């Protein structure tokens, strides 16, 4: 029975693997178009939060009605945004975050007036980033990602020494990042500097499974090509699912608590999800094509 | 524990020993010997450098075990005793027993020290977890060279020291775009002091007419009185909106500055007033080009080479206490710039973060909880997928030991664990689990290869993944003024110990279990 399913699966894959490649190709095509439109509209690749545009973020250790707060202050502070922070167990609101593009002194003054009390180190945290600086940070983070991709590509070429398998790994990693970026933008997430780091982490996680796959296929023993792919899949999917579930678990816990960590985890889970697609369809199909041709 | 069980059956290989030793050393680095969490007492976080107890030798970092023979276990015990004893009408005796010596004090008020509970480990958390202020500072309208930056840092550190702020870290940072910044971190939150000390250049000039007599800094000023008879507040007056309090302190001029003073005053005329005879021009004190005070120069000083000069100024406030406090602050600041001289550039704070210390405590707990939940989830998945309890426990233990080793190294290199560092640890553990799955899977496959050959294959994959991850992290080390350095550092430590120590040991354990 099991053998039978395996065989049918194998036949199916032999017949359709090139066609399967269409799925990621279409998503990639859509991603390029989407990003093109997005860029021409926003003059940027992402929606940036204030850690990348510059501005002030104030965390108040108290319960406040965020909607009301936003309404009351919106004509006094530039681009105001409010958020609640919850306690993990009781689900009770423990803090309020106010973000604005105004400077820290102005923001503090307006809030103090609204609350009727002084803000000090005991009841609040204030983070301010100047706009020129955040602009420069943003550029550097983009450069860091480009360099990371380039270094990764060089290492992959050194390891496998053959063109097609290496380029397949690089394409998968790139597709992971691009598809994640598109979904993040569709969801309307405002990316912080830490969020960009998450994209960097995707490179690391994504390459793991690709290296495993390519290694098993190129340096495989006497078993058939499909056998090798299937074995790599069994290992690789366990790796990705384990990471994915661990990250989702962590995400649930930090979600209400830390915007920085929850953004990292959200982006990582999206990235890992696309990695399943890109490793086991994109990369597998290209590699199989290459191996079949080589015969 | 797994390794313990193994020991009963089979000999431990050197790789497993290496892991055990690494974990043991890491625990030692995190908790010390004897473990710091077993230590009783309170830790001294600061000692006023003008106090008697400081002169007696009590210092920051020492641990108070007993007061007047009563054992102190925590801060509550300490404050309870202090509240019972002070303030008192007359001098009372206090015996403070630290780990290695005893200090005896007679006073009406409590000793000028602050204490905290002894930390549970030697791990240090970054500002975003423990609270404090951090500023990134740049020169206004000027790109600094690294030499200029180093000069700036020296003067600024000096300024913080003179101002009496300890536990301040002033570091040069540069980023991928070639910008140089000065990063200032203060534990605990004192953003006001921080802003005050760097938002002003502190260019001090004393002028008579248009001629400069002396400027701040050691070239013209040889010493500044900080306390005692020669420095302090000498009068307070009620004004319309509150109080104004006046301070004064003495300074000593260098020979050269004193001669300049003589030369300039020589040419001035003497005016007679009802209060006495003064020279026709005043000595004007400017701080950052703003007039702070104008002093009458008495007739006797005309043409004299005098090295001793009084500096005066004032502070205001709605109540008398506020005014005194304000005047004291002003005086301290003026003394500081007179000693250290002015900063070579106008500065600009481009990033300022102030994190409330109350915030971080819950945070660390949540992160710990998240990490445990994540590792437990991994354990369950492995158990379900491979249906092997021993191997699953081995993965679980390996991940835990990786965390311990990363934390151990972080503690050893005194790395402050901030949020990016913690994300980095999670990333390292994640790839670690991935690699262990590769090892476990290779070991299970029914091939003609020996287990040794299969492990070799597993390591080809692991090393490939290692070098690609390593390469992708390198740019981060320099980007963004080092704000994400922590992520790069913990991930690199994690994946490197993984490849060199924990995974080889894990593969040996698996060989024993599966082999």
CATH number, domain at A61? 3.30.70.330
Confidence band (pLDDT; 50, 70, 90) for B358? Answer: low
CB B45 within 8 A of CB B34: no
CATH code assigned to B2-35+358-514: 1.20.1640.10
- The whole-angstrom distance between A185's CA and the closest CA on chain B is 23
The CATH H-level (homologous superfamily) assignment of domain B40-117 is PDZ domain (2.30.42.10)
Q: What is the pTM of this model?
A: 0.78
**∠ CA(B483), CA(B486), CA(B487), 5° rounding?**
100
Of A128, A146, A164, the residue at which a domain comes to its end is: A128
If asked whether residues A81 and A138 sit together in one domain, one would say: no
If asked whether residues A109 and A213 sit together in one domain, one would say: no
Beta-ladder partners of B286 = B205, B291
Residue B492 predicted with pLDDT over 70: yes
Count how many pairs of residues, chain A against chain B, have C-beta atoms within 8 Å: 228
For A121, the domain range is: 55-128
Please give the residue that has the higher pLDDT: either B1 or B463. Answer: B463
**Per-residue pLDDT reduced to its tens digit, A256-268:** 777 788 898 899 9
If asked whether residues A68 and A15 sit together in one domain, one would say: no
Of A82, A99, A128, the residue at which a domain comes to its end is: A128
If asked whether residues A96 and A181 sit together in one domain, one would say: no
Interface with chain A: mutation pick from B365, B439, B469, B496, highest number of A CBs within 10 Å: B469
Q: What is the pLDDT of residue B154?
A: 82
CATH number, domain at A260? 1.20.1640.10
If asked whether residues A184 and A257 sit together in one domain, one would say: yes
Q: What is the pLDDT of residue A289?
A: 92
Of A90, A111, A128, the residue at which a domain comes to its end is: A128
Report how far apart the first and last C-alpha atoms of chain B are (Å, whole number): 20
Q: What is the pLDDT of residue B159?
A: 77
**DSSP codes of every residue in B310-325:** EEEEEEEESSHHHHHH
Domain boundaries, chain B: 2-35+358-514, 40-117, 132-200+351-355, 204-333
The interaxial angle of helices B451-478 and B503-514, nearest 10 deg, is: 160
Query: Cβ B356–A261 below 8 Å, yes or no?
Result: no
Confidence band (pLDDT; 50, 70, 90) for A106? Answer: confident
Q: What is the pLDDT of residue B451?
A: 74
Query: Cβ A143–B479 below 8 Å, yes or no?
Result: yes
Mean pLDDT of B278-289: 84
Select the residue of A212, A231, A243 nearest B461 (Cβ to Cβ).
Answer: A212
Domain count along chain A: 2
Q: E strands of A36-103, at which residues? A: 47-48, 55-60, 81-86, 93-100
Of B174, B172, B169, the C-alpha closest to B126 is B169
Mean pLDDT of B343-370: 76
If asked whether residues A286 and A196 sit together in one domain, one would say: yes
Query: Cβ A136–B434 below 8 Å, yes or no?
Result: no
If asked whether residues A263 and A136 sit together in one domain, one would say: yes
Residue with tokens 């097609």: A164
Q: What is the pLDDT of residue A176?
A: 95
**Per-residue pLDDT reduced to its tens digit, A208-266:** 889 889 988 887 667 788 888 988 898 889 888 888 888 888 888 777 777 788 898 89
**Per-residue pLDDT reduced to its tens digit, B57-74:** 888 788 888 888 888 888
Q: Is B453 on the interface with A (CB under 8 A)?
A: no
Distance of CA B268 to the CA centre of its chain: 51
The interaxial angle of helices B389-412 and B485-497, nearest 10 deg, is: 130
If asked whether residues A35 and A104 sit together in one domain, one would say: no
If asked whether residues A114 and A95 sit together in one domain, one would say: yes
Mean pLDDT of A196-206: 86
Highest mean pLDDT among A123-132, B23-32, B98-107, B329-338: B23-32
Of A76, A241, A51, the C-alpha closest to B484 is A51
Residue B3 predicted with pLDDT over 80: no
Confidence band (pLDDT; 50, 70, 90) for A118? Answer: confident
**Per-residue pLDDT reduced to its tens digit, B221-269:** 888 887 777 788 888 888 888 888 888 888 888 888 888 888 888 888 8
Q: Are strands B204-208 and B283-287 parallel, antiparallel or unpaired?
A: antiparallel
Q: Is B401 exposed, middle or buried (0-12, 13-18, 19+ CB in 10 A)?
A: buried
Q: Is B455 on the interface with A (CB under 8 A)?
A: no
**Per-residue pLDDT reduced to its tens digit, A52-84:** 888 888 888 778 788 888 888 888 888 888 878
Residues from chain A contacting residue B461 (CB–CB below 8 Å): 211-212, 215-216
Confidence band (pLDDT; 50, 70, 90) for A277? Answer: very high
Beta-ladder partners of B221 = B253
Q: What is the ipTM of this complex?
A: 0.81
Q: What is the pLDDT of residue B303?
A: 82
CB A140 within 8 A of CB B480: yes
Q: Domain B132-200+351-355 has what CATH class?
A: alpha beta
Residues from chain B contacting residue A243 (CB–CB below 8 Å): 430, 433-434
- The whole-angstrom distance between A191's CA and the closest CA on chain B is 15
**Per-residue pLDDT reduced to its tens digit, B415-470:** 888 888 888 888 888 888 888 888 888 777 666 677 777 778 788 888 888 888 88
Characterise B69 by phi-psi region: left (phi > 0), alpha (psi -120 to 50), beta (else): left
Of B348, B349, B355, the C-alpha closest to B133 is B355
Confidence band (pLDDT; 50, 70, 90) for B298? Answer: confident
Confidence band (pLDDT; 50, 70, 90) for A280? Answer: very high
Query: Cβ A219–B457 below 8 Å, yes or no?
Result: yes
If asked whether residues A124 and A136 sit together in one domain, one would say: no
If asked whether residues A236 and A174 sit together in one domain, one would say: yes
Residue B25 predicted with pLDDT over 90: yes
Select the residue of A61, A216, A245 nearest B358 (Cβ to Cβ).
Answer: A61
Of B164, B459, B222, the C-alpha closest to A215 is B459
A9-17 long-range Cβ contacts below 8 angstroms, 24+ apart: A10/A226, A10/A230, A13/A226, A13/A229, A13/A288, A14/A226, A17/A284, A17/A285, A17/A288, A17/A289
- The whole-angstrom distance between A37's CA and the closest CA on chain B is 28
């Amino acid at each position: 029975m099991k053998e039978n399913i395996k065989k049918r699966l194998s036949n199916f894959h032999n017949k359709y693997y090139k066609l399967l490649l269409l799925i990621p190709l279409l998503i990639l095509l859509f991603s390029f178009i989407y990003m093109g439109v997005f860029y021409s509209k926003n003059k940027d690749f992402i929606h940036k939060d204030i850690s990348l545009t510059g501005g002030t973020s104030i965390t108040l250790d108290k319960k406040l009605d965020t909607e009301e707060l936003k309404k009351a202050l919106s004509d006094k502070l530039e681009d105001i945004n409010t958020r609640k922070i919850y306690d993990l167990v009781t689900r009770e609101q423990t803090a309020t975050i106010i973000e604005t593009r105004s400077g820290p002194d102005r923001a503090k003054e307006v809030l103090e007036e609204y609350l009727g009390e002084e803000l000090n180190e005991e009841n609040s945290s204030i983070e301010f980033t100047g706009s020129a600086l955040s602009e420069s940070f943003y550029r550097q983070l983009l450069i860091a990602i480009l360099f990371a991709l380039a270094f990764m590509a060089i290492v992959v070429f050194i390891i496998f020494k053959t063109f097609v398998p290496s380029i397949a790994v690089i394409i998968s990693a790139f597709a992971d990042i691009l598809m994640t970026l598109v979904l993040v933008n569709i969801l309307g997430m405002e990316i912080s500097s830490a969020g960009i780091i998450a994209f960097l982490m995707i490179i690391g996680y994504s390459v793991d499974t690709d290296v495993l796959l390519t290694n098993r296929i190129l340096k495989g023993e006497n078993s058939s090509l499909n056998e090798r792919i299937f074995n790599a899949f069994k290992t690789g999917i366990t790796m990705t699912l384990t990471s994915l579930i661990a990250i989702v678990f962590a995400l649930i816990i930090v979600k209400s608590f830390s915007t920085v960590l929850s953004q990292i985890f959200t982006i990582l889970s999206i990235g890992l999800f696309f990695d399943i697609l890109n490793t086991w369809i994109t990369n597998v199909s290209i590699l199989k094509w290459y191996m079949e041709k080589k015969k | 524990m797994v390794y313990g069980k193994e020991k009963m059956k089979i000999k431990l290989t050197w790789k497993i020993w290496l892991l055990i030793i690494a974990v043991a050393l890491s625990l030692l680095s995190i908790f010390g010997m004897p473990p710091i969490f077993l230590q009783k007492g309170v830790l001294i976080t600061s000692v006023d450098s003008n106090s008697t107890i400081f002169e007696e030798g009590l210092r920051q970092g020492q641990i108070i075990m007993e007061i007047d023979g009563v054992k102190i276990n925590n801060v509550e015990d300490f404050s309870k005793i202090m509240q019972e004893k002070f303030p008192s009408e007359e001098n009372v005796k206090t015996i403070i027993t630290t780990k290695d010596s005893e200090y005896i004090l007679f006073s009406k008020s409590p000793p000028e020290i602050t204490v905290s509970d002894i930390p549970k480990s030697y791990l240090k958390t970054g500002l975003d977890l423990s609270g404090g202020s951090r500023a990134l500072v740049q020169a206004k309208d000027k790109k600094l060279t690294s030499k200029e930056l180093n000069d700036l840092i020296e003067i600024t550190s000096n300024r913080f020291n003179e101002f009496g702020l300890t536990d301040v870290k002033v570091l040069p940072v540069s980023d991928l775009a070639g910008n140089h910044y000065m990063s200032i971190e203060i534990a605990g939150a004192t953003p006001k002091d921080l802003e005050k000390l760097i938002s002003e250049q502190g260019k001090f000039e004393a002028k008579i007419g248009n001629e400069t007599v002396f400027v701040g800094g050691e070239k013209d000023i040889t010493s500044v009185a900080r306390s005692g008879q020669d420095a302090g507040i000498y009068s307070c007056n009620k004004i319309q909106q509150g109080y104004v309090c006046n301070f004064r302190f003495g300074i000593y001029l260098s020979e050269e500055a004193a001669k300049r003073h003589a030369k300039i005053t020589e040419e001035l005329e003497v005016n007679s007033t009802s209060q006495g005879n003064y020279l026709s021009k005043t000595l004007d004190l400017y701080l950052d080009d703003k007039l702070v005070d104008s002093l009458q120069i008495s007739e006797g000083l005309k043409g004299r080479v005098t090295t001793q000069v009084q500096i005066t100024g004032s502070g205001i406030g709605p109540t008398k206490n506020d005014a005194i406090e304000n005047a004291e602050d002003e005086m301290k600041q003026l003394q500081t710039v007179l000693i250290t001289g002015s900063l070579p550039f106008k500065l600009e704070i481009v990033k300022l973060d102030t994190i409330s210390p109350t915030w971080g405590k819950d945070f660390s707990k949540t992160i710990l909880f998240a990490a445990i939940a994540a590792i437990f989830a991994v354990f369950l998945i492995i158990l379900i997928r491979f249906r092997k309890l021993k191997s699953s426990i081995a993965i679980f233990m390996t991940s835990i030991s990786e965390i311990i080793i990363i934390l151990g190294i972080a503690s050893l290199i005194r790395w402050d664990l901030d949020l990016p560092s913690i994300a980095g640890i999670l990333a390292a553990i994640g790839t670690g689990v991935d690699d262990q799955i590769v090892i476990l899977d290779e070991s299970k496959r029914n091939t003609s290869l020996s287990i040794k050959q299969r492990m070799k294959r597993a390591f080809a994959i692991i090393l490939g993944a290692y070098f690609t991850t390593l390469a992708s992290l390198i740019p981060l080390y320099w980007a963004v003024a080092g704000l994400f350095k922590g992520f790069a550092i913990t991930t690199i430590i994690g994946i490197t110990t993984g490849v060199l120590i924990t995974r080889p040991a894990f593969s040996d354990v698996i060989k024993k279990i599966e082999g």
